[in-house]
Every structure is written in C-alpha cells, then in structure tokens.
Amino acid sequence: MQLVLLCREQDFKYFGVNKVFAPLIEDLKILEQRGVVTSDGIVLKGSLVAIAGDNLGSHSVGGFLENFSRATYFCRYCEVCRDDFLTNPLSCGTIRSAQSYASNLHEQESTATESVCGIKFDSPFNQLSHFHVCQPGLPPCLGHDLFEGVIAYDLPLYIRHLVEDNNFTYLQLNRCKNQFRYEVNDGKDKPADLSPSSDKLSGHAVQNWCLLRLLPLIVGDRIKDPCENEVWQIILQLREIVELICAPVITEGQVAYLKVLIEEYIDNRTKLFPNAPLRPKHHYLCHYPFLIIHFGPLIRLWTLRFESKHTFFKQCARKLHNFKNLCKTLAERHQLLQAYLSAGNLFPPLVQSEKGTDFHVDDYNDRIRASVASCPFQLQSAVACNYVTVKGTDYRRGMYILLENSDEGLLMGKIMLVIVVHNSVYFVSEKHTFVKLCDTGVYCDLGVAQDNYVCIKQEDLLDYYPLSAYNVYDQSLIALHHSFPEAV
C-alpha cells in the first residue's frame, strides 16, 4: 500500500472534494489514456476499480448525503426512502445507475435544492472513463456494517432477552467468557465484557466477530430448549450469515442462499423486536448478495487492513509533537519507511518455519510412513517441524485443516507433522469427521475416520484457514471462521 494523498479534515471541508482530488484524478486519466511504458516498450494501461471506505467516507467521496440518522435517502446503492424502509424493512428502491445519478444531478441543479434522491454533487471520480460511483464503485466495509454495526447493536439485544429468560446472568456470561481457554488465533482478539446498561458491544470489529463465533461454545449449554428458542435461533442465523459473507471463496448457489438468509433474518428481527428500530446498516445487508456478484468476496475489500496502515500516521503524529505542516512531515516519514522496507526484501518469504530436524521416514510409525509414500517430494531434502507460516497464515501441530466438504459433514485433518521441502509444505494429518449440531451451530468430532492418515500439500487444501478445536461439554467442537465452497 502506497501513499497517494494526505489532507487535513478542515482543509478538505474548506477547499472541497474537487480541488483535493484533482491531482489524483489527473494521474488516473493519464493512466487510462496513455498508460505506462515499460523498459520493454510495452504500454500498460489501468483504471480505477473501486474506492474502499466506511459509509461516511464513501458518501463523502461519492456526492451522497452523509446524515444516516435523518436523511430521507440514506443508501448509495438504491433510492429507497426512509419511510418505506421503516414500513417494510425488506423493500429496496430503484437501483442507482450512472443515468439515474446524472438525472438526479440535473434536477438538483435546475431546482437549486440541496439534494435530490440523496445526491448533493457530482463526484469528481466520475470524470474517469471506466469508473462511476454507481457502477457500483463504492463497496461496503464488513468491519463497519457487520461487526461494528448489525452485530454490535443486535447481539446485546438478544443477550438481554436471554438474560431476562433466566438462561444466564451478565456476571455468569462475563465469567464464562473470561475463563474460556481461547486457542491461538482467537486468543489475539478476546471479546470485551458485556454490560447490562449498554445497548452496544464495546469491543472493536474483530472482538465482536470472535464473540459471535464462540458464543455457542461459551454459553451454549445454558440455553433452555435451544431448538425452540427463537432468540437463540436468530443468533445462529446471524452467525451463518457472517460465515457466508466472510468467505474468501463463495459460489453462486451460496450467494442465492445468503440472499434468502438475510431476508429471513431481517424479517425475524423485526417480528421478535418490533420496538427496536432497524438501522440503515440492516438495509445495506440486503444489497450484499448483489455486491458479492459484482465485486467478488467482500472480505477482500474491507477497510481493516487500511486502518492498520493508518496507525503508522497516528503514532507519528502523537510522538513527533510537531503540528506545523503535519501532512508534509507525515509524508516524509512514510516515504523514508517505504525506502527502508524496499532496501531489503519488500515481502517476507512465502514459507517460514521453526528450526526443524531432517526428516528420516524410518523414525516414524507405520501410518506416517504409509501416508508419505505417495508424496512426490525427495525425502533427502525434507525437514520435519511442528510449526510453519505460509503466506502469513500460521499452521501448528494439533490444528485442523479442511480435506473434504460433503453433505454428510466435514472431513478435517488434524495436523500431526509438518514437512517442509524447499518452499513446499506438506501436512501429515489424522482424518476426523465433523458434523454440524443444529442446537449450537458448531461442528462436533465424530472420531477418527478409516484410513486415518493422509499427507497433503498446503496448496491442495480446500480452504487455507486452519481451525482450532475446543474441548467443551466433553466433546471436541469447531466453530467455523467462514463458510467453505458447497459440496459438488
């Protein structure tokens, strides 16, 4: 990620969007029309695909109204009216297009009104040949819409109802949450405490995600008649929606199923809690299936990675204590950092492993020897270890990897040994069959499968993300991080 522009908020408001973004748009026009000539004489042209941001930033750049709590037209994807949304939460207005955008702008200029259908001004990025904010070109951010929006406000509502039904108390919930033994990845984002006086979760986006994922493991045994409890079932429905939306790979069939799930969720939420009004972010969920078809998996476009990038600038501003021409100072410090990073390897090695030992197949039992016999690597150059990082993802002994997804359940492999051969990684895994429990929404281990050892290459996994099993209720349970491609 490279730095393009820095501007103070007060300057942005004073000079306006057109002047601030003018230099960037001129560069993008050159890239579209003339391109860049490589040393081989090849001309490479490019164009803007999408502008990632939270709702406030996207509406500011796109020329839409930024008052989500009171504006009549609050959606940048359709022309839904607030009254229609409150009357029928599943209603969507006419989908916005470049033509309707231009028509609304023309009406706004001719009538000299502040806005028409939620549009205040023409976005400067619409000057580009292959981009328009209504293509759509302003994707949603899962972190803000889901984890700091729908989940942050809906989950406390459901938990309060479960407490009132005497399933548990807030003290018991917080005690169970704090005493829960979080595994490797989940331990980095332990959920924040819940308060009976707060209508919103106090944690950040990933903490709220972690709480929703692991809630069945933390208090699932305390729910009375889980299959008949409507509030508990709507929590499980929300978990399934999040699993599908956060999937890095999703099929068209899953997108269609997601659309049905979202409509059912909003309908159930309205019926169960009619006095708790829905928010605009609930409406944005209705557009997610269409947006996934347009942009692909939305997890690739959320802004949390950019928020992490912003921490460098925030730390510099706090530590330098020099606020004269702050943008120039931050830009210089950032470019010095980029130069330092470019001096060495810009990217870390694809495979990083702990110090292992030379792999001698005769040192292992018959099941491991049989599993590696069919693998095409040279045993002389293999190294055995218990921990490896592949493209930033940590794999440890004892974690589970997906081998097969079928109608009967998930065939998972418990990592018993990691074998590294140059830049290739193989996992010797023990096969386990997991089935989904309808009362908690998690997967339960049925035991070791027949022909129980397999050696598989990391690149051949059905899903890259390793999962940890939790021993709860005398069972080995797994809470999915995201959905997998459906069985063929």
Q: Which has the closest alpha carbon to 48: 62, 36, 31? A: 31
Q: If you average pLDDT over residues 45-67, what whole number do you get?
A: 94
Higher pLDDT, 381 or 63: 63
- pLDDT the model gives residue 1: 86
Find where tokens 């950092």 sit.
Answer: 337
Q: Which has the closest alpha carbon to 54: 428, 310, 316? A: 310
| CB neighbour list of residue 256: distance below 8 Å, 6 or more residues apart | 289
CB 62 within 8 A of CB 120: no
Give percent above pLDDT 70 in the chain: 99
Find where tokens 């890239």 sit.
Answer: 31
Cis status of the peptide bond prior to 136, with omega within 30 of 0: yes
Q: If you average pLDDT over residues 325-347, what whole number do you get?
A: 88
**Which helix H or strand E contains 96, and what residues bound it?**
none
Give percent above pLDDT 90 in the chain: 76
Both structure tokens of 322: 């020099």
Residue 268, judged by CB atoms within 10 A of its CB (0-12, 13-18, 19+), counts as middle
- pLDDT the model gives residue 323: 84
pLDDT at 42 over 90: yes
- pLDDT the model gives residue 87: 92
Rounded alpha-carbon distances, angstroms, from residue 61 to 13, 225, 342, 432: 12, 49, 31, 50
Rounded alpha-carbon distances, angstroms, from residue 396 to 11, 448, 472: 49, 19, 21
Bridge partners of 411?
404, 433
Q: Which has the closest alpha carbon to 412: 384, 454, 373? A: 454
Helix (H, G, I), strand (E, B) or coil at 357: strand
Helix (H, G, I), strand (E, B) or coil at 464: coil
Q: If you average pLDDT over residues 176-189, what whole number do you get?
A: 90
- pLDDT the model gives residue 366: 86
Both structure tokens of 94: 């006419």
CB 193 within 8 A of CB 177: yes
Q: If you average pLDDT over residues 123-142, what whole number do you get?
A: 95
Q: Delimit the domains of the chain by residue range.
A: 9-138, 142-301, 306-343, 351-478
Residues listed for the chain:
488
Q: If you average pLDDT over residues 113-140, what whole number do you get?
A: 94
Q: Which conformational region is residue 147 in: left (phi greater than 0), alpha (psi within -120 to 50 degrees), or beta?
A: alpha
How far from the centroid of its chain's Cα atoms is residue 475's Cα?
Answer: 29
CB 266 within 8 A of CB 234: no
Residue 361 confidence class, pLDDT cut points 50, 70, 90: confident
Helix/strand number for the chain, H first, E second: 15, 13
- pLDDT the model gives residue 102: 95
Both structure tokens of 371: 């599993």
The dihedral of CA 377, 380, 383, 389: what is its sign? negative
CB 176 within 8 A of CB 472: no
Q: What are phi and psi of 19, to 5 degrees?
A: -70, -40
- pLDDT the model gives residue 487: 54
Residue 245, judged by CB atoms within 10 A of its CB (0-12, 13-18, 19+), counts as buried
pLDDT at 488 over 60: no
Q: What are phi and psi of 375, to 5 degrees?
A: -80, 140
Record the pTM.
0.93
pLDDT at 369 over 70: yes
Rounded alpha-carbon distances, angstroms, from residue 217 to 180, 400, 405, 437, 485: 9, 17, 22, 12, 24
pLDDT tens sequence across 28-39: 999 999 999 998
Q: Domain 351-478 belongs to what topology?
A: SH3 type barrels. (2.30.30)
Rounded alpha-carbon distances, angstroms, from residue 400 to 132, 414, 444: 43, 5, 13
Q: Which has the closest alpha carbon to 252: 285, 302, 290, 286? A: 290
pLDDT tens sequence across 61-80: 999 999 998 999 999 999 99
Residue 347 confidence class, pLDDT cut points 50, 70, 90: confident
